[in-house]
Structure 1
Amino acid sequence: MSALTNFPPDALLQASLEVAMAPVVGPVVLAVSGGRDSMVLLQAMARWAPERIAAVATFDHGTGTFATEAASLVAAEARRLGLSVVRERSRAPGHSEAAWRAARWDFLGRIGRAFKARVATAHTRDDQLETVIMRLLRGAGTRGLAALAAPSSVVRPWLGVSRAELARWAVTEQVTYLEDPMNISRAFLRVRVRHELLPALETATPGFSDQMLAIADQAATWRRDVEQYVEAIGVAVAPTGGRASCPAAAIESTTREGQAVLWPALCARAGVTLDAKGTRELVKFTTGGRCGSRILVSGGAVVLRRRAAAGEPPGERFEVRRASSKRSPAGAPAWSGAPEALPPRFGPFRWRRLLTAPSSESLAEQDLWTMGLPRGEPVALRVWTAGDRIRTAGAPAGRRVTRYFSEAHVPALDRSTWPVVLVDNELAWVPGVCRALAAPSRPGRPELIWYRCEPEFD
C-alpha cells in the first residue's frame, strides 16, 4: 500500500475514488467529522460521484465547543452542496478514545442501515500505519495486523493516499475544515505514536513505515483468504446479527492451528472479537464439547454445540451468540391473568398446554420443564431479574435464582430473556431450572392446568 506521489492531486484522488467505489453496489453514507481528510472526501465525492452519496453523517461527541462547531461546519457545507445531512449529538459524552469510537460507529451503523447504504470514511495511509503500530503494541496477531485493510463493509477511498497528498489538494481547492485540538494532545496513544514513536522508528530504521504497511497488506490478503474459506464451509449469520453458526465437522476436521484461525473468523461474523485466551479455550472446546454444551468467551458471548435446526444441513453445529447490550425490563409482570390464558409464546420460549396430566414418572424432579398451574389463582409471567429469589426444598428460606442458573449451566447470555412464573405473587417456577417448595404441581392440590415450556434457543 505505497503512497502514490507521482500523480497530480486531482488525478490521484479521482482515481482512488473510482477504484474504491467500483465494487460498491448502491450509495454510501459519508462519515464526515469536519477535519481536513473527511472534508476533502466530502468535496471530492460531491465533485466526481455526487449520485453515489445517500447522505452525509456527522456526529457531535459532546466533548466541547470544537465538536459542536465541527458538526455545524459539516452540516452547513453538505447543505451548500445540495446533500442530505444527518447530525446527532452524543447524550452521554465518553472520556476515552474507545468510548468515542464506539459511540461514533453506533451512530454510523444506524444511519447506514436507515439508508441501506455502506459507510465511507476518510481513513488514510497514515491512519493505517498508526493503527498497525498500535495493534503491535497491544500484542495483535496476524488477523489484527490487517488493521483498516481487513475485509469490511466500510469503504475507505483514501487508504492508499497519504495525509500529505490530501493536504495538497485541500490547499489547491481551498477546502474549509477545522483542526481538532486533540490531534496534538499527547494524552492519546495515537498522537504519541504519530508524533513520537513513528518518527523515532523511521530514523532508527529507514523504510520502517513501508515495511509495516507491507506486512499489513500481507495480513489483509491472508484474512481475505480465511474469510473465503469460512464462507465456503457453510457459515450462517442471523439476519439481525449477533449470531453465527457453522457445521461442527468443518472446524473439527482441521488441525489445532487451523482451529485457532477459524474460531476468531466465525466469532467475528457474530460481532464478537476473540482474544488469545478465548481462542485457546475454543480450540479445547472443539474436541471436548458435547452436543448441548456451552462455553463463555470474550465479552460475555457464548459458544455452543447444538443439533442442526429445521432447514439446516443435518449434523451438529457450532454457534456463536454475542452478548446483548440491552438489559431486560426491571421486573414488572409482562403478562398476568388466568392460567387458562397463558400466552403461547414468551421471548424464545413456547408454552404448550397439555390435554392430560403427565404421569408421575414424567414429573420426576429432573423434569423441570413441566408444571401444573392451579385453576382460579392469579398467574404472572415475566423475565428473570437479578434479585429474584425462590424457596425450594433445598433452600426453604429462599435462594437467589442466579445460583440455580449456574447449577443448571444456563449461560449468562440467555438469562436476560428467561421466564419465571409467579402464582399468587410468589415465584413458583423457573422452567427447566427449579420449582418452588410450594409449587402447585405437587400432589394434593386442586385441579391443575398443565403446561410444558419448550425453549427455542437451539
Structure 2
Amino acid sequence: MARFGAAPVDATPSPSLLCGRDRQQQEVPRDDLPPDDIAPGDLLHAVLDVALQAVDGPLVLAVSGGRDSMALLHAMARWARPRIAAVATYDHATGDYATEAASLVAAQARRLGLTVVRERARVGGHSEEQWRDARWAFLRRVAQGFRARVATAHTRDDQLETVVMRALRGSGARGLAALAATSDVVRPWLGVSRQELARWVDSERLPYLDDPMNASLRFLRGRVRHELLPALETASPGFGEAMLALGEQAAAWRREVEQYLDGCGLVLASDRTRVMVPARILEGTTAEGRAVLWPAICARAGVTLDANGTRAAVRFTTANRCGAHIRLAGGATIARRRDGRSDIFEVRRATGRDSGWPVFSGSVDALPPRFGRWRFRRLGVEPLATDAWCIGLPAGASVAVRPWQPGDRIRTAGAPAGRRVTRYFTELRVPVLDRPTWPVMLAAGEPMWVPGVCRGLAAPSRPGRPELIWYRCEREFD
C-alpha cells in the first residue's frame, strides 16, 4: 500500500545545499547554520531550477516508486512539466513490491497527465549488478526513443554511499568522483539530502512505497548505509562531509582530464562503440600519465578499465608494433594501426552486434539489406567500373554471402591462380579486428567479391550490361 508521511518537522534545510559545488565554499558547519524561513517546497523548486538551467532538451524521468523518485516526479510535474518527455518505470520481477511500485508510478504519472513507459523483466536478477544493468538498458532505450536524457533521483546521501563503496573497492580518483562525474544522466537532487526530500514529501502527503531492500544488510550498499557510515561518523565526526568533499575534488580532477582529451584529436565513431586517438598523445607522456588517460579514453567508447586493464594498456602503448592488439575484460580491444601517415590507437567495445552473423544463399534479387554491421544497398544507376564497393549481378543469379574466412582465396585478372584475401587486407591496411566480420560474396562456392577490396573472375558481372542489378556494400554503423 502506498505510504503517506507524517507532518513536517520544525527544522528547516540549509540554503548551502542549493548546489553541490557550493558546499566546498561553506566554512560554517551545516549544524551551526542559523535557521531561516525557506519552506521545503521553495528549496526544492530552487534546486530544480539551478539543476535544469545547465541541461538542454527533454528528460525521461526514472521513477522507481520510492520516496526520492516520487519527489522528482511530482516536483518536475509541478515546476518543470514542459521538460518531461516521459516517465519510465521498471519492474525487476523480484516480487510483489516491484510490481506494486511500478503500478504506483504508472498510476501517479497518468493522473498527472504524463506519458508512461513501463516494462517488466522477463527473468528476475539475483544481484545488484544484474538489476542495475537491466534497469539502465531499459532507461537508455526509452531515452533514445524520445531523443531525451535520463533524469534520476540520486541524492547527496547516495553520492556519499557510492564514494565510500568505491573507496572500499580501491578505486582511484576517476572512480571516486562517483555520481558527481560529468555524465549524460541528469541528477537534480544530488545536492539534496534524503531528509530534506522527506520533509517536502511529508508536507505534501505524496504517495510512495518503502523498498524493503533499503533496510536489508544482504548487499554492500545496505551495510554501508546502516552499519559502516554511522560507525565511522561516530568514531570521526565529519567523516561524511570529508568524503563528499573528496568526491567533489575527484569530479573536478576528472573534468580537467576530459577537457584535456577534448583537445587531443580523439574521434568517436557514430555508433559510440569505437574511439580513435593519435598514438603520439599517449607516447608523449609518462607511464603515470598513460594510467590516467587510458581509462578516460576507453570510457568514451563505453569501456570500463579495471586496474589490470589499465596496466595492460600502459604496457601496450610502447611495447607493440602497428597491427597488434590486446583484449580486455568483457571482450573489448585496444589496437594500434596506421591511419594515413601516423599511428593511432583504437579502442573497441564488444557489442555482440556481430554475433550470429547471418549467412545468405539464394537469388541476388532477394539479397537481404543487412548483414551484421554491413548494408547492401541496391543502386538505380551503374557506378564507376573501378569502384570496388559495388558489383553488378544478372537478375536471378545465385549467390551466397558469409563472413571472411582465413583460408579464402580469390581469382583476379592479376592473380588468375588465386590469391589469399588476407594479403589484400594487409595491402589495404584493413585492421585485423575488422576482418572476421568482413563480408564475402560467392558464386558456385567460389569467392567473387570482397566489398571495398576486390572483385574476382568468378563475378558474372561485366560493365555496360543494362540487365544487371547493381549493389553497393557499406558499413552500416560508420
TM-score range, shorter chain: 0.7 to 0.9
Q: Counterpart of 1:362?
A: none
The CA deviation string for residues 267-309 of structure 1, in whole angstroms up to 9 with x for no partner, is 0000000111111111111112222221112311111122236
Equivalent in 219, 228, 233 of residue 188 of structure 1: 219
The CA deviation string for residues 329-381 of structure 1, in whole angstroms up to 9 with x for no partner, is 376x324469xx99999656899xxx9xxxxxxxxxxxxxxxxxxxxx97633
* Counterpart code for 1:162: S
Equivalent in 176, 185, 192 of residue 145 of structure 1: 176
Q: Using the alignment, how far apart are the partners of 2:312 and 2:448 within structure 1? A: 34
Q: Counterpart of 2:233?
A: 202
* 1:159 counterpart = 2:199: no
Q: Counterpart of 1:236?
A: 267
* Counterpart code for 1:315: S
Q: Counterpart of 1:284?
A: 315
My pick for the range that moved more, 217-226 or 240-249, is 240-249
Alpha carbons of structure 1 residues 252 and 335: separation in structure 2 relative to 1, 3 Å: farther
Q: Counterpart of 2:85?
A: 54
Q: CA RMSD in A?
A: 3.8
My pick for the range that moved more, 244-253 or 150-159, is 244-253
* Counterpart code for 2:198: A
The CA deviation string for residues 7-54 of structure 1, in whole angstroms up to 9 with x for no partner, is 431222112111110011111111100000000011111111111111
* Counterpart code for 2:346: E
Equivalent in 381, 394, 397 of residue 401 of structure 2: 381
TM-score by length of 2: 0.74
The CA deviation string for residues 122-148 of structure 1, in whole angstroms up to 9 with x for no partner, is 000110111111111111111000000
Q: Using the alignment, how far apart are the partners of 1:343 and 1:83 within structure 2? A: 40
Q: Counterpart of 1:221?
A: 252
Indicate conservation of the 8 Å contact 2:443/2:458, yes or no. no
Indicate conservation of the 8 Å contact 1:34/1:70, yes or no. yes
Matches within 5 A, 1:19-418: 19-308=50-339, 315-326=342-353, 328-329=355-356, 333-336=359-362, 380-383=400-403, 414=434, 417-418=437-438
Alpha carbons of structure 1 residues 249 and 450: separation in structure 2 relative to 1, 3 Å: farther
Aligned length: 401
Q: Using the alignment, how far apart are the partners of 2:370 and 2:125 within structure 1? A: 39
Q: Counterpart of 1:400?
A: none
Q: Using the alignment, how far apart are the partners of 2:317 and 2:406 within structure 1? A: 36
* Counterpart code for 2:305: L
Q: Using the alignment, how far apart are the partners of 1:176 and 1:297 within structure 2? A: 46
Deviation at 1:416, TM superposition (A): 6.4
The CA deviation string for residues 128-175 of structure 1, in whole angstroms up to 9 with x for no partner, is 111111111111111000000001011101111111111111110101
The CA deviation string for residues 365-400 of structure 1, in whole angstroms up to 9 with x for no partner, is xxxxxxxxxxxx97633247xxx99899xxxxxxxx
Indicate conservation of the 8 Å contact 2:269/2:275, yes or no. yes
Indicate conservation of the 8 Å contact 2:71/2:201, yes or no. yes
Q: Using the alignment, how far apart are the partners of 2:244 and 2:435 within structure 1? A: 44
My pick for the range that moved more, 317-326 or 1-10, is 1-10
Secondary structure at the counterpart of residue 126 of structure 2: coil
Q: Using the alignment, how far apart are the partners of 2:214 and 2:295 within structure 1? A: 32
Indicate conservation of the 8 Å contact 1:146/1:216, yes or no. yes
Secondary structure at the counterpart of residue 344 of structure 2: strand
Alpha carbons of structure 1 residues 325 and 54: separation in structure 2 relative to 1, 3 Å: same
TM-score by length of 1: 0.77
Q: Using the alignment, how far apart are the partners of 2:459 and 2:354 within structure 1? A: 32
Q: Using the alignment, how far apart are the partners of 2:133 and 2:206 within structure 1? A: 28
Secondary structure at the counterpart of residue 345 of structure 2: strand
Deviation at 1:449, TM superposition (A): 5.0
Indicate conservation of the 8 Å contact 1:120/1:157, yes or no. yes
Q: Using the alignment, how far apart are the partners of 2:369 and 2:215 within structure 1? A: 60
Q: Using the alignment, how far apart are the partners of 2:297 and 2:275 within structure 1? A: 7
Indicate conservation of the 8 Å contact 1:390/1:428, yes or no. no
Q: Counterpart of 1:361?
A: none
Long gaps (5+) in structure 2 = 1-19, 24-28, 377-384, 386-396, 410-421, 451-455, 462-472
Indicate conservation of the 8 Å contact 2:448/2:459, yes or no. no
Long gaps (5+) in structure 1 = 356-376, 393-403, 432-440, 442-446
Indicate conservation of the 8 Å contact 1:252/1:287, yes or no. yes
Q: % of aligned pairs identical?
A: 60
Indicate conservation of the 8 Å contact 2:354/2:437, yes or no. no
Deviation at 1:204, TM superposition (A): 1.2
Q: Counterpart of 1:366?
A: none
Q: Using the alignment, how far apart are the partners of 1:286 and 1:450 within structure 2? A: 46
Q: Using the alignment, how far apart are the partners of 1:346 and 1:45 within structure 2? A: 43
Q: Using the alignment, how far apart are the partners of 1:200 and 1:231 within structure 2? A: 42
